[in-house]
Amino acid sequence: MQFRLYPNPATDRLNLDCYLLQSSEVRIDIMNVCGHLVKEPVKLNGTRGIIKNSVDISALPAGTYFVRILTKYGVQIRKLVIK
């Protein structure tokens, strides 16, 4: 699984492109630096190929966060800055 976040730093929307080698459920978590969820998780049923999603982050205050992507094939985490 590969994914990218943009723009980063972000302000009100976060775009996520995820490439899946096989079909899988996908969960997107946004966490603060302490590891606590700060937004309701986004759950998708992904098929093989590219999944594009946009998440509203306008309610989150400026700061540093982490985006965690979970599939049945693994977990990846990326740093996100909201300005």
What domains sit in the chain, N to C, each tagged with a CATH number?
2-82 (2.60.40.1930)
- Can you list the positions of beta strands (E) in the chain? 2-6, 13-20, 24-31, 42-46, 49-56, 63-71, 74-82
Nearest alpha carbon to residue 28 among 46, 10, 8, 12: 46
Mean of all residue pLDDT scores within the chain: 93
* pLDDT at res. 1: 74
| Residues of the chain where predicted confidence (pLDDT) is lower than 70 | none
* pLDDT at res. 42: 93
In angstroms, the CA 83 to CA 74 distance is 29
